[in-house]
Amino acid sequence: MNRILLVSLLAVLLPLSPAHGGEVDISGSMDFAVRAFWQNPVSAAQEDHALQPTVASTTELRWYNEAGNQRAAFIPYLRWDATDEERNLTDLREAYWAFEGDGYEFLVGANTVFWGVTESVHLVDIINQTDFAGDIDGEDKLGQPMLSLMLQRDWGEITAFVMPAFRERTFTGADGRFRPPLPVDTDNAVYESSREDRHVDLALRYSHYIGDIDIGVNVFSGTSREPRLVASPKGDSLLPVYDQIDQLGIDLQYTNDSWLWKLEAIARNGATHSFAAAVGGFEFTLYQLAESTADVGLLFEYQYDGRNELEPITIADNDLFVATRLAFNDVQDTTLLAGASYDTETGEIFLNIEAERRFGEDWFGELRVRAFSGAKQGDDTYWLQKDDYMQLSISRYF
Amino acid sequence: MNCTRTVLLSLFAAVILGIAGAVFAADNGAFEIAARSDRTDLGFGDSEVDLQMILRNAAGQESRRSLRIATLEKPDETVGDKSLVVFKTPRDIEGTALLSHAKILDPDDQWLYLPALKRVKRISSSNKSGPFVGSEFAFEDFTAIELNKFDYTHVGEESCGDLVCDVLERNPRYENSGYTRQVSWVDQTDFQLRKVEFYDRRGDLLKVLELDDYRNYDGIWRAHKLSMSNVQTNKQTDLIYGDYAFGTGLGENDFVKGRLSRLR
């Protein structure tokens, strides 16, 4: 990580020399969050903290040259957790320099890239590693060191990525929540490649739209962002195993009136076999419900995953996802999202409620409730059974 | 130049793109007045402007947003213009961007950029009558509206400030409008839009838009203050514009969806 930091720092600071002019924008946020758990954890080894406070800060430094064809970003993210030190994190979400020409862009440094269209699971989104310790929803990401070249043409956009360094997934600690029966030993990751976390991963993405249809196609070859978890020789922990994989992904959205129809699908040559996975569904919005200014969205998605039990665990297999999103469209941008995923084979249920709004000009508050239900011994979410929680977070933006 | 194909950009868009007028005084009917008004704006090319949005509730409490709007005029008038709105404040939505490709008859193509996830999301443009970012401006007030999307009736002439205005009633022909009709005031000197009244689905007066502080940029007029007052809720939203920059070298590649994730 230190080497990545240094290289990224250099990539950003070199073009910032005064000769280049331009200006630097500084912004960011401080986030204060408390998680409350009302059940004792599954394992006796996990500490029984009912309250888990966390402080995090994001600082965004952005620079643009006067001609507007160069930009740089430096965005360190720091997190400190009062009860689980494995949740402490120092990351560079972004630390890059980019040069833009006529119809192309070259970027070097750490960056975050999102691909995909669905809401319940992000199958095709593979560039960035997941900060699983940060949030179990898979939407917190770690900055990925890369060289990328984007070409914009009438027929769409093509981006090539060369990723010379790998980021390991974060996991909560032995005494923390959201962990398997044995703790994950993140200090002793195992790699299929002899180059370990210096394997050069490659990816290519095509993105375009034709009328009401948005399409993305991508290929990836390199180190799987999802590790398998394998018992250590001593048998007292789980080791993350990062295999070499090849993956083809496609994402489609058809936008028609108040309906968004979505599909993501992947085919992966994984650790032990080749398999396919897909998620598809719709998002329908009723605008100005009952002559108010509020919108109500209804989301439905079905998740399929054909992987065998030797591949990295996923809970998104043969699951139904149903959710509603209430947007009040008020000055404070108040929204409420409530959803549930139901595993049609095992009967496991995951409930998720998120409510958020702005306070004044610079404060933002969020309330989150997550609950697990219906898992039997041996089911994927059994080890999360006692980790139902409520989280209150307040962010101050500057 | 085919006059009937001329595009009218009204309200908010009117100020992004300018409202046209023409150079002859005779009244050739309501449609021609609207079309003429549009003509004063032809050929502006592209523009960029920073603005403040000030939202006031009935108790007078204020909330502010600052944003930048870039617009690309499409030379072919059968294709709508392209626009990009980027928010600077409130800080929690800094970098949020809305890209619109306006259409003449079909729904606009719109993409939203969510900076927290760095996600570009194609969104439905059928939400015409919903409030734009909590303001008194609806999406349909905000995005480009084409001349042929309305039927026009000439109501009469009225003095408007120091000027004399033609009063036009216009009825939306497009689907999903929140209005049954609008009444607009277009002055006879510079052919600019000065005021619009919006009537809701029940036919009651809902909102009044006043356009002030017009400035002339080498023949192209732009209003620099827009006040939208909701007469039913007593809420108000003001848009205060900075100086426009024209011909800044924007091109098609600045208005593609992939551009949204490369703005900053």
Report the mean per-residue pLDDT for chain A. 92
Please state, in angstroms and rounded to a whole number, the distance separating the CA atoms of residues B33 and B20. Answer: 9
Token pair, residue A225, equals 């962002």
Please state, in angstroms and rounded to a whole number, the distance separating the CA atoms of residues A187 and B87. Answer: 41
Q: Please say if the pLDDT value at position A289 is more than 80.
A: yes
For chain A, the helix, strand and coil percentages under 3-state DSSP, each to the nearest 5:
10, 55, 40
Among A6-15, A40-49, A133-142, B246-255, the range scoring the smallest mean pLDDT is A6-15
Q: Does B178 touch chain A (CB under 8 A)?
A: yes
If chain B, 264 residues long, is cut into consecutive pieces of 10 residues, what is the mean pLDDT of each piece?
37 37 47 84 89 95 95 78 93 94 84 94 89 90 70 91 92 86 93 94 94 93 96 96 94 93 87
Query: Distance between alpha carbon A136 and the CA centroid of its chain, in Å?
Result: 9
pLDDT of residue B11: 36
Asked if B63 and A209 come within 8 Å (Cβ–Cβ), the reply is: no
Q: What is the pLDDT of residues A239-283, one digit of tens each?
A: 999 999 999 999 999 999 899 999 999 999 998 999 999 999 999
Going by C-beta distance under 8 Å and a sequence separation of 6 or more, which residues neighbour residue A23? A63, A64
- Kindly state whether residue B69 falls inside one of the protein's structural domains: yes
Among chain B residues, the shortest Cα distance to A152 is held by B253
| Amino acid, single-letter form, for residue B196 | V
Q: What is the pLDDT of residues A112-155, one digit of tens each?
A: 999 999 999 999 999 999 999 999 998 999 999 999 999 999 99
Asked if A361 and B130 come within 8 Å (Cβ–Cβ), the reply is: no
CATH number at residue B193: 2.50.20.10
pLDDT of residue B139: 87
SS3 at position A113: coil
Asked if A257 and B123 come within 8 Å (Cβ–Cβ), the reply is: no
Among A74-78, A106-110, B128-132, the range scoring the smallest mean pLDDT is B128-132
Q: Is B129:B139 a contact under the CB 8 Å cutoff? A: yes
Among chain B residues, the shortest Cα distance to A62 is held by B264
Domain range enclosing B30: 3-244
Q: How far is A349 from chain B (nearest CA, A)?
A: 25
pLDDT of residue A21: 56
ipTM of the complex: 0.92
Among A19-28, A164-173, A203-212, B1-10, the range scoring the smallest mean pLDDT is B1-10
Q: How far is A153 from chain B (nearest CA, A)?
A: 8
Q: Does A114 touch chain B (CB under 8 A)?
A: yes
Q: Please say if the pLDDT value at position A9 is more than 60.
A: no
Query: Cα–Cα–Cα angle for B165, B169, B174, nearest 5°?
Result: 135
Please say whether the structural domain A2-397 has been given the CATH code 2.40.160.10: yes
pLDDT of residue B18: 35
Please state, in angstroms and rounded to a whole number, the distance separating the CA atoms of residues B100 and B123. Answer: 10
Going by C-beta distance under 8 Å and a sequence separation of 6 or more, which residues neighbour residue A103? A151, A152, A153, B253
pLDDT of residue B2: 39
- Kindly state whether residue B255 falls inside one of the protein's structural domains: no
Q: Is A77:A1 a contact under the CB 8 Å cutoff? A: no
Q: Which of B68, B99, B114, B117 would best serve as a mutation to test chain A binding (most A beta carbons within 10 A)?
A: B117
Q: How far is B111 from chain A (nearest CA, A)?
A: 10
CA neighbor of B143 nearest in space, from B159, B132, B152: B132
Chain B residues in contact with A287 (beta carbon < 8 A): 126-127, 129-130
Q: Which of residues 322-361 of A touch B (CB under 8 A)?
A: 329-333, 358, 361
CA neighbor of A89 nearest in space, from A129, A145, A126, A127: A129
Chain A residues in contact with B127 (beta carbon < 8 A): 258, 285, 287, 295
CA neighbor of B237 nearest in space, from B29, B21, B51, B42: B51
pLDDT of residue B109: 92
Domain boundaries, chain A: 2-397
Q: Is the peptide bond before B172 cis (omega within 30 degrees of 0)?
A: no
What's the structural domain count of chain B? 1
Asked if B253 and A157 come within 8 Å (Cβ–Cβ), the reply is: no
Q: Output the CA–CA distances (angstroms, integers) from residue A132 to A117, A172, A225, A392, in the order listed.
A: 21, 8, 11, 19
Asked if B133 and A257 come within 8 Å (Cβ–Cβ), the reply is: no
| B83 DSSP β-pair partners | B71, B100
Q: Output the CA–CA distances (angstroms, integers) from residue A242 to A127, A128, A224, A228, A349, in the order listed.
A: 15, 14, 6, 7, 29
Q: Is B243 buried (19+), middle (13-18) or exposed (0-12) by CB count in 10 A?
A: exposed
Q: Is B51:B67 a contact under the CB 8 Å cutoff? A: yes
Q: Is B192:B181 a contact under the CB 8 Å cutoff? A: no
Please state, in angstroms and rounded to a whole number, the distance separating the CA atoms of residues B134 and A116. Answer: 27
Going by C-beta distance under 8 Å and a sequence separation of 6 or more, which residues neighbour residue A193? A199, A223, A244
pLDDT of residue A12: 52
SS3 at position A383: helix
Q: Is A117:A283 a contact under the CB 8 Å cutoff? A: no
